[in-house]
């Protein structure tokens, strides 16, 4: 489950209000050098929290990200997107964590083998950073998805990961609803609201935008999950 977007991104806010409030958002700390991860320590943490059943999945994930480092970006995207979508089962936070909204680290996602949309997106983000793609090329995007129902479509808060080959490039969307990586122009079912990565928060989804400084506001969950990822050994 996703929280309401920060108030500066809601449609009823005036442009002046949007800019004033958005200027208060904090640029989050630069992403840590995650390649220095200690696999043995990570495995010990996983066993302590979730038992030994998911060790094989953790080892497969570590091997997948290691193999991906030698690939080109497009191949990295396919490998990571396929791995996460294939090995993680969608389930809401209430069913997995008995909480209405809990953003998890990739270790927690692997340990449970289940997660909701932001858990898929965060796991792919961390995996691609492990594979060597810089944070500047990746954004988590909060969107309103139009889900098909027997009576038409229904809007649903959703999160996806986007990749930008260059700042001017059209973003490629990695999603758990549509498991094929597609350019944003081929995802008319998604309406972007705002985007963010470990470098900051962005009012839109253009790769040319700069993160804006200020308070962390409603994205304290993102700051918290980054802190917990670092505590797992990503220094």
- Give the C-alpha separation, 115 to 119, whole Å: 5
Domain ranges of the chain: 7-231
Token pair belonging to 75: 């191949």
Residue 123 has what pLDDT?
A: 97
Is 207:169 a contact under the CB 8 Å cutoff? yes
- Give the C-alpha separation, 45 to 168, whole Å: 40
Is 97:40 a contact under the CB 8 Å cutoff? no
Residues with Cβ within 8 Å of residue 111, at least 6 apart in sequence? 46, 49, 50, 54, 58
Q: What is the CATH number of domain 7-231?
A: 3.10.620.30
pLDDT digits (tens, 9 = 90+) for 120-168: 999 999 999 999 999 999 999 999 999 887 887 888 999 999 999 999 9
Residue with tokens 């081929």: 186
Token pair belonging to 233: 């050994």
Specify the 3-state DSSP secondary structure of 44.
Answer: helix
Is 197:185 a contact under the CB 8 Å cutoff? no
Any idea how long the chain is? 235
- Give the C-alpha separation, 116 to 131, whole Å: 23
pLDDT in tens, the chain (235 residues): 565 555 444 444 444 443 344 333 333 333 334 545 789 999 999 999 999 999 999 999 999 999 999 999 999 999 999 999 999 999 999 999 999 889 999 999 999 999 999 999 999 999 999 999 999 999 999 999 998 878 878 889 999 999 999 999 999 999 999 999 999 999 999 999 999 988 888 888 888 887 765 544 458 888 899 889 989 887 5
Pairing assessment for the beta strands 190-197 and 138-149 based on DSSP bridges: antiparallel
């Amino acid at each position: 489950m996703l929280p309401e977007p920060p108030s500066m991104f809601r449609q009823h806010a005036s442009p002046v209000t949007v800019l004033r409030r958005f200027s208060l958002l904090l640029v989050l700390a630069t992403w840590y050098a995650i390649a220095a991860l200690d696999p043995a320590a990570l495995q010990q943490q996983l066993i302590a929290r979730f038992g030994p059943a998911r060790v094989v999945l953790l080892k497969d994930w570590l091997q997948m990200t290691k193999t991906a480092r030698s690939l080109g970006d497009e191949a990295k995207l396919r490998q990571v997107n396929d791995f996460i979508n294939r090995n993680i089962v969608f389930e809401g936070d209430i069913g997995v964590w008995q909480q209405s909204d809990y953003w998890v680290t990739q270790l927690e996602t692997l340990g449970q083998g289940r997660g909701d949309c932001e858990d898929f997106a965060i796991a792919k983000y961390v995996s691609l950073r492990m594979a060597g793609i810089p944070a500047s090329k990746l954004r988590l995007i909060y969107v309103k998805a139009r889900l098909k129902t027997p009576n038409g479509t229904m809007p649903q808060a959703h999160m996806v990961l986007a990749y930008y080959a260059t700042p001017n490039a059209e973003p490629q969307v990695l999603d758990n609803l549509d498991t094929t990586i597609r350019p944003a122009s081929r995802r008319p079912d998604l309406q972007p609201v705002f985007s963010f990565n470990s470098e900051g928060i962005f009012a839109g989804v253009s790769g040319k935008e700069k993160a804006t400084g200020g308070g962390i506001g409603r994205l304290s969950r993102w700051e918290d999950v980054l802190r917990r990822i670092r505590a797992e050994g990503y220094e």
